[in-house]
Amino acid sequence: MNKITLRRQLRTARNALDRDTRRHAGRNACRLALRLGLLLRARRVGFYLPHNAEFDVTPLLNQALLMKRDCYLPVIPRRSAQAMRFALIHDRHVMQANRYGIHEPQDARPLRARQLDLLFVPLVGFDDQGYRLGMGGGYYDATLAYQARRCLWKKPRLIGVGFECQRVDALPHDPWDRPLDAVLTERRLYRFKPGNQ
């Protein structure tokens, strides 16, 4: 099955989840992430604001802020398939909607992805090898392309976030697709070994 068809099917499954299920899933994932210590060794953590029924990581973002972590949100570049930067969330940040209607903090000097320790990534689907199916804009692919040139040191650690209904056995993937280190769902954390890719 091609990416376009899979994306349509998985978005339909995700959109079918009701509001209470989504809210409950976000709280469960937050508790699971804290129990597993996902935020313990990370100082700079990248998040996203959910859009179009994406998994809500706001409970985890709020917890990270309470833990005094430096939390960042992506800033979408002007054109598709260009690298995103990550803007710091702070007490006096100003939020502005981008062309997709997603709010972004305004930051004079946003970071590159490689400056983050941990990055939570939205997804439409994921498979047992750690590959992620995104929305199709190519922003995360462009942002993380530098990792293909790194053999040992890869920063940030990539954790996809999605619902169990978004898991499939195998996704079609291209040479530029970067596998995730793990995927967090409402039920568990799937870890992927580097040798699986």
Measured distance CA(96)–CA(79) in Å, rounded: 17
Owning domain of residue 41 = 3-191
Nearest to 44 by CA among 176, 131, 155: 155
Note whether residue 197 is domain-resident: no
At residue 133 the predicted structure's pLDDT band, cuts being 50, 70 and 90, is very high
As a whole-number percent, the residues of the chain with pLDDT over 70 amount to 95
**3-to-9, 15, 148 alpha-carbon distances in Å:** 10, 18, 21
Over residues 158-185, mean pLDDT: 93
Q: Establish if 51 belongs to a structural domain.
A: yes
Question: What's the confidence (pLDDT) of residue 177?
Answer: 84
So what's the pLDDT on residue 93? 78
Domain total of the chain: 1
Q: Say what the pLDDT of residue 180 is.
A: 95
Residue 30 belongs to some domain of the structure: yes
In the predicted model, what is the mean pLDDT of the chain?
Answer: 91
- pTM score above 0.85: yes
At 109 the pLDDT is: 86
Instruction: Inform me whether the pLDDT recorded for 196 exceeds 50.
Output: no
Contact predicate 34/62, CB 8 Å: no
Does residue 10 surpass a pLDDT of 80?
yes
Based on the number of CB atoms within 10 Å of its own CB, is 76 exposed (0-12), middle (13-18) or buried (19 or more)?
middle
Domain assignment present for 7: yes
Residue 196 counted as domain residue: no
What CATH number has the domain bearing residue 52?
A: 3.40.50.10420
